[in-house]
Amino acid sequence: MLLADAEQWTARAIGLATLLATIELLKIRRVMADDGVWSWPYLRREHVVLPTPLRLLFAALLPYRPFVALLWLRLPLALTLLCGSSLGAPLLLLTEVAIGVRFRGTFNGGSDYMNVLILLALSVARVAHSVPLVVTGCLAYVAAQAMLSYVIAGLAKLRDRAWRRGLALGALVADAGYGTPGWLRSILTRPSVSRVASWSVLLFECSFPASLKNPSVCAAFLAMGVLFHLGNSVIFGLNRFLFAWLAAYPSLLFVSQLLQI
Amino acid sequence: VAGSAFLGVVVWLAFTESRAARSPAWALLRCLWPSWRFFDGVAPVPELAVRVMQGDGEFGRWRPALSPPKRRVYSVFLNGEGNLHLAKQSLIERLLQELDGELVEEAPSLFSYILVRRLVEAQLASFGCTSRCYQFKLSEPETPEPLFVSAPHQLGEL
């Protein structure tokens, strides 16, 4: 995969991720209205802690009407990325941060982190488009963060006794709060299935650095990654993670190829 | 050497205790600081329940205020309601974090408390509730003792 291809596919994938996320937010926008749960007249009180320039910026962007306009603006920006151009990345990055701040940090946790860091990398790559070393550095940064995301998550789970004993996944899906479909819950709460599934997650996440061995091994890991995120989407409803992490995969593939040379 | 150093950083990051952003300003800008710990402990998801005052001046039974929406095949692509449910759940978890070490009397001044009240009032409106007085509680499933019970509040007082 050439550097330009990796950059373009990253742009396409993050374009799709932000497009879907924006459609979701537009669909539920009533909760951000002045009479909704995340009402700006209340949220703004918390902004007194921000430095004045940021406070003024968010005071202009985050009230209900401008914020909804911002969400509509994200649609064409996401589409330009989907078409392979990272021209809209800096502006989309600003809207992504604004969404995080509107929800007091993040709306969807990990997927927001991944979207922000990929858009940041694409924005820098766009500005320094004529310097291949900088563009390579941006993609390496995305790859490093994607790898960290798996390894840290895996090692942190490994510290937990329930994960080591293979009980964790069964216990998590048994919790009604995640809304796991009944048929899946009845399968995953079986001790033998829970043990195999828990250890599969641990092994996949902890062994992820091996994906950089060569492009073929990397492709195999990424295929497992797609299945892993698809599973999380069905089991825990974390659909945004699938698309956000997919956007990091071209960088991982590119870096695995780079290390091979 | 670079690989070992990278691995060292990874292990250090994974095994150091995570700290919630202590500065309120940084907490608002949290999306700029990735945290890659997911499901690293098996803790029950806290439940939000609400009860309203009946005509006789007594509170009725507690009932759950949030339930996850049914997942569809297309939820893999578009899951707005599901992600909204997760955001509401995060709001409840954040309130519990903020209540830790706080005096119960000071809870209503917490910003997360105000937002959870707005959430409860929105849910009551969706239930078609006509009572003016309500109370909410946070608890863990299958644990009889609640984690927190609010004082009675009037609808529309916020």
Residues B88, B66 contacting (CB under 8 angstroms): yes
What is the structure's pLDDT at B156? 82
- Which residue in this structure is represented by tokens 């003016």? B132
| Residues facing residue B154 across a β-bridge | B133
Residue B63 banded pLDDT, cuts 50, 70, 90: very high
Taking the Cβ of residue B19 and every Cβ of chain A, the question of whether any pair is shorter than 8 Å is answered with: no
- Rounded CA-CA distance A73/A67 in Å is 10
Whether the pLDDT of residue B17 is over 70: the answer is: no
Q: What is the DSSP letter of B71?
A: P
> What gap in Å lies between CA B113 and CA A26, rounded to an integer?
26
Q: Is the distance from CB of B60 to CB of B147 less than 8 angstroms?
A: no
> Quick check: B72 contacting A, CB < 8 Å?
no
Rounded to whole angstroms, the Cα distance separating A98 from A19 reads: 16
Average pLDDT over residues B40-64: 91
Average pLDDT taken over every residue of chain A? 96
Measured distance CA(A244)–CA(A110) in Å, rounded: 9
In this predicted structure, the answer to whether residue B37 has a pLDDT above a threshold of 70 is yes
Look at residue B142 in the predicted model and tell me its pLDDT.
78
Task: Render each residue's pLDDT in chain A as its tens digit; 261 residues.
Answer: 899 999 999 999 999 999 999 999 999 999 999 999 999 999 999 999 999 999 999 999 999 999 999 999 999 999 999 999 999 999 999 999 999 999 999 999 999 999 999 999 999 999 999 999 999 999 999 999 999 999 999 999 999 999 999 999 999 999 888 889 999 999 999 999 999 999 999 999 999 999 999 999 999 999 999 999 999 999 999 999 999 999 999 999 999 999 986
CB A235 within 8 A of CB A173: yes
- In the block, residue with structure tokens 């291809």: A5
Given a contact cutoff of 8 angstroms between Cβ atoms, the answer to whether B60 and A223 are in contact is no
Task: Tell me the chain A residues in contact with residue B38 when contact means C-beta distances shorter than 8 Å.
Answer: 110, 153
Q: Which three-class secondary structure state does DSSP give residue B80?
A: helix
Q: Judged by CB atoms within 8 Å, which residues 84-103 of B form the interface with A?
A: 84-91, 94
Contacts of A51 in chain B (CB under 8 A): 25
Phi, psi of B139 (to 5 degrees): -150, 170
CA–CA separation, A162 and B90 (whole Å)? 23
Residue A178: its pLDDT value, please? 87
Which tokens sit at A236?
Answer: 């825990």
pLDDT band at B18; cut points 50, 70, 90: low
Q: Which residues contact A76 (CB under 8 A, 6 or more apart)?
A: A88
Neighbours of A215 (CB within 10 A): 20
Q: Residue B106's pLDDT is what?
A: 86
- How confident is residue B131, by pLDDT bands cut at 50, 70 and 90? confident
Per-residue CA distances from A113 to A142, A248, B81 (Å): 11, 12, 20
pTM for the predicted model, two decimal places: 0.93
Q: For residue B103, what are its two tokens?
A: 């005096």
Annotate A124-165 with three-state secondary structure: HHHHCCCCHHHHHHHHHHHHHHHHHHHHHHHHHHHCCHHHHC
Instruction: Look at strands B133-139 and B153-154 and give their pairing.
Output: antiparallel
- Six-digit token string for A33: 């209205």
B143 touches chain A (CB under 8 A): no
Q: Record the tokens describing residue A130, joined without a space.
A: 């004529």
ipTM score for this prediction: 0.94
Interface test with A, best of B6, B16, B31 (most A CBs within 10 A): B31
Could you tell me the pLDDT band of residue B19, with boundaries at 50, 70 and 90? low
Q: How many residue pairs bridge chain A and chain B with CB atoms within 8 Å of each other?
A: 186
Spatial separation of the C-alpha atoms in residues A8 and B85, rounded to whole Å: 33
B14, B25, B119 ranked by CB distance to A50: nearest: B25
